[in-house]
Chain A
Amino acid sequence: MQRWPTFIAAPLAVLAPASALASVYLSVEQAQQAIFPGATFVPASLTLTDEQAGAVARRSGVRVRVREQAVWRVPGAGWFIVDQVVGKHEFITYALGLDPSGAVRGIEIMEYRESYGHEVRNAAWRQQFLGKSAADPLRLDEDIRNISGATLSCRHVTDGVKRLLALHEIALRAR
């Protein structure tokens, strides 16, 4: 016998506000502990030179939008990097952990935001999310947490990881 799921239909006229959808998953500290549990983190942020940025773009095939990169050295374990990617409709902050050889140790999405206006392309709009932590969330209606329907692809995150792997080769490995 087949098991029927519990489903209570609602009148379909109810629509959520058309605001940007957002999820905050992890703060920097939480992402650090998720990828390198118990490790210590030494700030090692860097600003790519023109030459380095060009080399990263050539090596990864991915455009380098910003020169500043939030990086932590994890003594004996590798590197922890926080990065942002912007798609047509989405803005994603994620953390990448690399082992000392530059292999991916873990990826965690820290924050996901989507929008269907022009705001994602707008630097001022993006700026408001930088430096936000999970303790300071821009939380939407807590009821909206089960959304069905194709979400965006993770192509931009995949490209971001390619760019960070190239950044490791060019700017971190020798450090």
Chain B
Amino acid sequence: MKSHSGHARRARPALGTLVEVRVRAAAGSADLFERAFEAVDRVHRLMSRHERESDVARINRAAPGAKVEVDAWTWEVLDRAKELHAATGGLFDCAAATSGGGSLSDLCLVAGNGVFVGRRLALTLDGIAKGYAVDRAVDALRAAGAEAGAVNAGGDLRLFGDELQTIHVRHPASPGRLICVGAAREAAVATSGRYFSNSTLVDPRTGRAAITDWSATVVAADCATADALTKPCLLHPAGAKRLATAFAAEAILFSPQHPRY
């Protein structure tokens, strides 16, 4: 539909959440939406742990020493994940699991979209792939001629175009309340927190589920980076600012005691 501000919006279930695509209203926007959702669906098919034939499921089934060939998109996400793993001293680790104690350092990337696994892994790209899907959807929208808009996948979002837009973050202890954190343009924003008590964030230092009532929001140029950086920021709030700066990003942390009024 066309809203007051001249934007057309659509939402579909994808990536285990609701994905909203908004574009500044233009002729032929139905096709824009299709392309954006196609990109999101492709990321889901490739990177969902629960899809039996996804790249991630195949990596998790691979025997130690085996080589798995993956899609170029999956390889790119793994490459990014390994970069973040190194830059955060292992705090970002989407192969850390509560059972088994694997790590991203057990995974080796080779040219030609190849992946070697050094041991059985319980890899999950949930903490970065949602942001990556948002980035690919924005690419698709731009390639199809959209000038401005936004993609929001369950709270990980990216804005593109010339508009300065306000950003709200959910209160960590009261998700129905929103905190206005500022305004952004050409930026991605992602937030991690417990919110609906389904946190699966594993602290790689302990191999246990992280227990925190805080939320971490990261503003970065791309959503995969923003999405991924929220996890180390949440696990090590004291290092959040330095870490974010290294990635040309901003980190904002909220305690559950943040005033609600």
Query: Which positions in A face B, CB cutoff 8 Å?
Result: 2-10, 12-16, 18, 20-21, 23-27, 30, 34, 37, 89, 92, 94, 107-109, 112, 114-116, 134, 139, 142-155, 157-158
Is B178's CB under 8 angstroms from A15's CB? yes
Is B155's CB under 8 angstroms from A149's CB? yes
| B13 touches which of A15, A134, A157 (Cβ 8 Å) | A157
Is B175's CB under 8 angstroms from A149's CB? yes
**A2-B221, A13-B259, A34-B10 are known contacts. Are A151 and B184 too (CB-CB below 8 A)?**
no
Is A16's CB under 8 angstroms from B177's CB? yes
How many chain B residues touch A (CB < 8 A): the figure is 69
Distance between Cα atoms of A10 and B178 in the complex (Å): 13
Specify the chain B residue showing the minimal Cβ separation from A4. B248
Is B183's CB under 8 angstroms from A10's CB? yes
Specify the chain B residue showing the minimal Cβ separation from A90. B18
The B contact surface, by secondary structure, is strand
**A5-B221, A34-B30, A154-B16 are known contacts. Are A146 and B165 too (CB-CB below 8 A)?**
yes
Q: Which residues of B contact A21 (CB under 8 A)?
A: 176, 178
Distance between Cα atoms of A108 and B165 in the complex (Å): 25
User: Of B71-79, B138-146, B191-199, B203-211, which binds chain A?
Assistant: B191-199
Interface centre among B1, B20, B247 (most CB of A within 10 A): B1
| A151 touches which of B12, B17, B174, B188 (Cβ 8 Å) | B17
Q: Which residues of B contact A146 (CB under 8 A)?
A: 150, 152, 157, 159, 165-168, 184, 189
Is B181's CB under 8 angstroms from A4's CB? no
Q: Which residues of B contact A5 (CB under 8 A)?
A: 184-188, 219-221, 248-249
